[in-house]
Amino acid sequence: MGDFFKPCPSRAKAGFKKIAKWVKSGFLMFILVYAKVSVCY
Protein backbone atom coordinates (compact mmCIF):
# COMPACT_ATOMS: atom_id res chain seq x y z
CA MET A 1 0.00 0.00 0.00
CA GLY A 2 2.85 2.40 0.87
CA ASP A 3 4.63 1.62 -2.41
CA PHE A 4 1.45 2.40 -4.33
CA PHE A 5 1.20 5.94 -2.91
CA LYS A 6 4.89 6.86 -3.40
CA PRO A 7 4.69 7.64 -7.17
CA CYS A 8 1.76 10.05 -6.86
CA PRO A 9 1.27 11.25 -3.27
CA SER A 10 -0.34 14.57 -4.24
CA ARG A 11 -2.87 12.89 -6.54
CA ALA A 12 -3.68 10.28 -3.91
CA LYS A 13 -4.21 12.99 -1.29
CA ALA A 14 -6.47 14.95 -3.62
CA GLY A 15 -8.49 11.82 -4.37
CA PHE A 16 -8.78 10.99 -0.68
CA LYS A 17 -9.99 14.53 0.12
CA LYS A 18 -12.57 14.25 -2.67
CA ILE A 19 -13.83 10.92 -1.32
CA ALA A 20 -13.94 12.28 2.24
CA LYS A 21 -15.96 15.25 0.99
CA TRP A 22 -18.43 12.96 -0.78
CA VAL A 23 -18.77 10.75 2.30
CA LYS A 24 -19.44 13.77 4.53
CA SER A 25 -22.08 15.26 2.21
CA GLY A 26 -23.72 11.85 1.73
CA PHE A 27 -23.77 11.28 5.49
CA LEU A 28 -25.38 14.70 6.09
CA MET A 29 -28.03 13.99 3.45
CA PHE A 30 -28.75 10.61 5.09
CA ILE A 31 -29.19 12.28 8.49
CA LEU A 32 -31.53 14.93 7.06
CA VAL A 33 -33.70 12.36 5.26
CA TYR A 34 -33.75 10.07 8.31
CA ALA A 35 -34.75 12.99 10.56
CA LYS A 36 -37.61 13.94 8.20
CA VAL A 37 -38.86 10.34 8.08
CA SER A 38 -38.69 10.07 11.87
CA VAL A 39 -40.73 13.27 12.28
CA CYS A 40 -43.36 12.14 9.75
CA TYR A 41 -43.89 8.76 11.45
Return the domain boundaries, the chain.
9-40
CA distances to 5, 15, 23, 29 from 18, rounded to whole Å, are 16, 5, 9, 17
Residue 21 contacts residue 28 (beta carbons within 8 Å): no
List pLDDT tens digits, range 3-38. 555 666 677 788 888 989 999 999 999 999 988 888
pTM above 0.75, yes or no: no
Concatenated DSSP letters of 1-34? -HHHHSS-HHHHHHHHHHHHHHHHHHHHHHHHHH
Residue 12 contacts residue 5 (beta carbons within 8 Å): yes
The pLDDT of residue 29 is: 93
The pLDDT of residue 2 is: 54
